[in-house]
């Protein structure tokens, strides 16, 4: 099997002599670091990887995580772990990166301080950006990555299915969010993949809302956008409900969002551009009374990060979908001051089309108040 390092070099237009990834401190960790070296736990703050075109990876790490790195490296014939103390990193890096070498860095993730430090440790080397190649190499998932996203999505779907039974008049958005996160952890998640969004009433019209102590009232629409994190891989699912007395407009909005999602799903296949998939959903909403109320891109790549980069489904994305990519499909309609509906699912692109990873019911549901 080709190593992930070889895949990164294959995706780089101009090949540097090495690719170097340097973690800073949480939250400034580079997810590509964990793409090149698959280790189930640990932050690896201050750790460095040097990737070589022949597929080999040198990993420099401290006492905190060297044991788990060595354990993981027993399953990975491409990686050498170097246990380094303070003061040893510079001299070792100078040996691993030849004088005069061109070094590919991840400009999207490396901190400015980290960049300056590398310049001091590696005089006479030139730095270039390898960010696009690193992101593209991550966009197509292998079987073990898809399995983990599938597991994260199964956890999110189970909780999504349970939400209607959790709703009580007078509960706060934060109470519902806490209950959802607790249930994900009980089901095997290593935490949440991003800050859980629970919006009641007018708050459900704000796509990236942060829950507060607002209480649930009959007549509220509800948007819950959340995800499990499972062994470093994310899911991202949104379900929308209506609490109490029927609201004909919000029911029609929900049905329109469902039709928009279905139209987009029907276009999914290898070779279609991200912008065409977005356009299929947007056309449905633009033909409805809610034209102009779909205010974001249709979806994004999903993987080690909830917004994984590399590709997406949005008006500016010319990239073509490929088998093995995992993306979200999440149309929404937002009526400011009143309420909103978003339906978000995670899918993997297959040879023939797509497969759902998230499975919770997505149809309109009025929950008795
Ligand atoms: N959870 C944010 C999003 O759906 O992209
Ligand atoms: Mn989401
Ligand atoms: Mn999303």
pTM: 0.95
State how far the Cα of 320 lies from the Cα of 140, in Å rounded to an integer.
Answer: 12
Percent of the chain with pLDDT over 90: 94
The confidence band for 369, taking pLDDT boundaries of 50, 70 and 90, is confident
The H-or-E segment that residue 126 falls in is strand 126-129
Nearest-ligand number for the alpha carbon of 301: 3
- Distance of CA 279 from the midpoint of ligand 2 (Å): 19
- Distance of CA 184 from the midpoint of ligand 2 (Å): 15
Using alpha carbons, list the distances in angstroms from residue 121 to 85, 113, 126, 271, 319. Answer: 15, 13, 12, 43, 37
- Distance of CA 334 from the midpoint of ligand 1 (Å): 15
pLDDT per residue as tens digits for the range 1-29:
468 999 999 999 999 999 999 999 999 99
pLDDT per residue as tens digits for the range 173-220:
999 999 999 999 999 999 999 999 999 999 999 999 999 999 999 999
Nearest-ligand number for the alpha carbon of 210: 1
Query: What mean pLDDT do residues 254-261 have?
Result: 98
Domain 2-139 and domain 143-367, same fold? Reply is no
The H-or-E segment that residue 51 falls in is strand 48-51
CATH of domain 2-139: 3.40.350.10
Pocket of ligand 1 (CB under 6 A): 194, 225, 236, 330, 344
Q: What pLDDT sits at residue 3?
A: 82
- Distance of CA 323 from the midpoint of ligand 3 (Å): 20
**Among the atoms of ligand 1, which is closest to the Cα of residue 296?**
5
Residue nearest atom 3 in ligand 1 by C-alpha distance: 236
The confidence band for 234, taking pLDDT boundaries of 50, 70 and 90, is very high
279 by DSSP, 3-state: which? helix
**Among the atoms of ligand 1, which is closest to the Cα of residue 330?**
4
- Phi, psi (5° rounding) for residue 137? -65, -30
From 197, 227, 240, 261, give the residue whose CB has the most ligand 1 atoms within 8 Å, as the site to mutate: 197
The confidence band for 296, taking pLDDT boundaries of 50, 70 and 90, is very high
**Among the atoms of ligand 1, which is closest to the Cα of residue 342?**
4
According to CATH, the topology of domain 143-367 is Creatine Amidinohydrolase (3.90.230)
pLDDT per residue as tens digits for the range 47-105:
999 999 999 999 999 999 999 999 999 998 899 999 999 899 999 999 999 999 999 99
The residue ranges of every structural domain in the chain are 2-139, 143-367
């Amino acid at each position: 099997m080709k190593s992930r390092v070889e895949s990164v070099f294959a995706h780089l237009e101009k090949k540097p002599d090495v690719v170097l990834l340097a973690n800073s401190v949480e939250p400034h960790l580079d997810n590509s670091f964990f793409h090149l070296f698959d280790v189930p736990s640990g932050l690896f703050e201050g750790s460095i990887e040097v990737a070589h075109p022949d597929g080999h990876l040198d990993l420099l790490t401290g006492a905190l995580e060297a044991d788990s790195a060595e354990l993981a490296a027993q399953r990975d014939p491409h990686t050498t772990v170097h246990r380094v103390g303070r003061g040893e990193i510079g001299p070792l890096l100078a040996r691993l990166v030849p004088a005069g070498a061109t070094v590919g860095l991840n400009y999207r993730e490396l901190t400015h301080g980290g960049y300056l430090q590398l310049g001091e440790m590696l005089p006479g080397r030139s730095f270039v950006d390898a960010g696009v190649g690193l992101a593209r190499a991550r966009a197509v998932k292998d079987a073990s990555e898809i399995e983990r996203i599938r597991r994260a999505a199964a956890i999110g779907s189970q909780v999504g299915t349970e939400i209607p039974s959790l709703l009580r008049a007078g509960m706060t958005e934060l109470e519902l969010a806490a209950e959802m996160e607790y249930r994900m952890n009980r089901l095997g998640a290593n935490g949440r993949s991003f800050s859980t969004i629970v919006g009641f009433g007018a708050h459900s019209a704000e796509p990236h809302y942060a829950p507060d102590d607002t209480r649930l009232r009959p007549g509220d629409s509800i948007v819950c956008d959340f995800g499990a994190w499972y062994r470093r891989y994310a899911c991202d699912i949104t379900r929308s409900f209506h609490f109490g007395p029927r609201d004909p407009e919000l029911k029609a909005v929900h049905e329109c969002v469902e039709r928009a999602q279905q139209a987009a799903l029907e276009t999914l296949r290898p070779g279609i551009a991200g912008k065409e998939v977005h356009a299929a959903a947007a056309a449905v909403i633009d033909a409805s009374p809610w034209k102009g109320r779909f205010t974001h891109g249709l979806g994004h790549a999903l993987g080690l990060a909830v917004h994984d980069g590399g590709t997406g489904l949005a008006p500016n994305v010319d990239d073509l979908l490929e088998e093995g990519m995992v993306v979200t499909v999440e149309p929404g309609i937002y009526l400011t001051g009143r309420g909103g509906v978003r339906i978000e699912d995670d899918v993997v692109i297959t040879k023939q089309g797509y497969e759902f990873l998230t499975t919770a019911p997505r149809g309109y549901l009025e929950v008795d108040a």
